[in-house]
């Protein structure tokens, strides 16, 4: 019993997030929802936000019903005023922001280059790349002031290996990796760690809206949202204090880089 107690204490010391405040964007569905739930289940004070207000309210209800701490906000990551209001709500409720998970994103829709007209290019880059920048812009001053923080940006295997469609999606996700690495270099001496998770094919609404069946033939294994959430939790934890500027890619061995 004493040994078991010691093991629990070790797990708590390395991976427990009690008292840490985490903002998760895109928390209304799929991977973001799993991240919000897993962070809360490890003791974090979670702000779950999403452009889909009803979805994220339902996620918050689920988390509360399990006895964990969460608040929620309807927030479009392309709108700086909504981001500011969400960050303000978080600080008012919890006092600070320790962890930022940039997960919210939109899909490309399987478009070939001829279909990626300038408006479509701008729409997707504005959400999937500028949206990540926007939240960093608002949260980093808070982390700088206290000289600590963890930022985890969700990229994609498409940002590493490319795809045979959706150049804008791949370009945005590659951009998220570049943004992560440069921020990690710039903020490392201020004890702000910035890392990426680049999911492989994972069973969510986005994956089903894409070409699910053909994709299953390419990626021999499909992950669950919790497989991605586990990587985020690790990067948010004390156990990952020496990780910065890294890309973790839970993908079941479908690709390696
Ligand atoms: N599912 C996969 O196979 C896969 C693979 C690689 C990367 N990803 C990435 O994982 C992340 C989560 O995707 P998912 O598969 O869970 O998809 P999903 O569609 O289930 O969830 C995406 C969430 O982002 C939200 N969102 C979209 N636009 C937004 C905006 N402007 N502001 C705020 N929120 C917005 C959506 O409302 C939704 O709740 C995304 O960054 C995605 O690019 C997913």
Residue 169 has pLDDT above 70, yes or no: yes
Share of the chain above pLDDT 90, in %: 88
The pTM assigned to this predicted structure is: 0.97
pLDDT tens readout for residues 116-136? 999 999 999 999 999 999 999
Nearby residues of 250 by Cβ (< 8 Å), 6 or more positions away: 197, 199, 200, 223, 227, 228, 230, 231
Enumerate domains of the chain plus CATH numbers.
20-248 (3.40.50.720)
Asked if residue 198 lies in contact with residue 176, where contact means CB atoms within 8 angstroms, the answer is: no
Tell me how far the alpha carbon of residue 102 lies from the centroid of ligand 1, in angstroms. 10
Which atom of ligand 1 is found nearest the CA of 107? Answer: 43
Q: Which residues are catalytic?
A: 169
- CA pair distance 138, 75, nearest whole angstrom: 13
pLDDT tens readout for residues 84-115? 999 999 999 999 999 999 999 999 999 999 99
* pLDDT (mean) for 156-180: 97
Strands 70-74 and 45-50: parallel
Smallest CA separation from ligand 1 atom 11, residue: 103
**In a mutational test of the pocket of ligand 1, which residue from 204, 248, 250 has the highest number of ligand atoms less than 8 Å from its CB?**
204
Tell me how far the alpha carbon of residue 4 lies from the centroid of ligand 1, in angstroms. 38
pLDDT tens readout for residues 207-219? 887 766 666 666 6
């Amino acid at each position: 019993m004493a040994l078991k107690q010691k093991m629990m204490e070790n797990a708590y010391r390395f991976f427990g997030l009690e008292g840490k405040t985490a903002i998760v964007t895109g928390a209304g569905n799929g991977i973001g929802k799993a991240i919000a739930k897993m962070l809360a289940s490890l003791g974090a004070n979670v702000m779950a936000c999403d452009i889909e207000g009803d979805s994220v309210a339902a996620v918050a209800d689920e988390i509360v019903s399990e006895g964990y701490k969460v608040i929620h906000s309807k927030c479009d990551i392309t709108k700086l005023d909504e981001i500011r209001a969400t960050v303000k709500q978080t600080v008012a409720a919890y006092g600070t922001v320790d962890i930022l998970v940039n997960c919210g994103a939109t899909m490309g829709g399987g478009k070939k280059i001829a279909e990626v007209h300038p408006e479509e290019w701008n729409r997707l880059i504005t959400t999937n790349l500028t949206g990540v920048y926007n939240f960093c812009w608002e949260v980093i001053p808070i982390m700088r002031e206290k000289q600590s923080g963890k930022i985890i940006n969700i990229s994609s295997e498409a940002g590493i290996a490319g795809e045979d469609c959706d150049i804008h999606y791949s370009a945005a996700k590659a951009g998220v990796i570049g943004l992560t690495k440069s921020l990690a270099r710039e903020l490392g001496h201020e004890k702000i760690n910035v890392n990426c998770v680049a999911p492989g094919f994972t069973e969510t609404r986005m994956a089903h809206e894409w070409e699910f069946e053909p994709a299953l033939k390419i990626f021999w294994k499909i992950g669950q949202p919790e497989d991605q959430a586990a990587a985020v939790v690790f990067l948010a934890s004390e156990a990952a204090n020496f990780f910065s500027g890294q890309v973790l890619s839970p993908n079941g061995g479908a690709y390696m880089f």
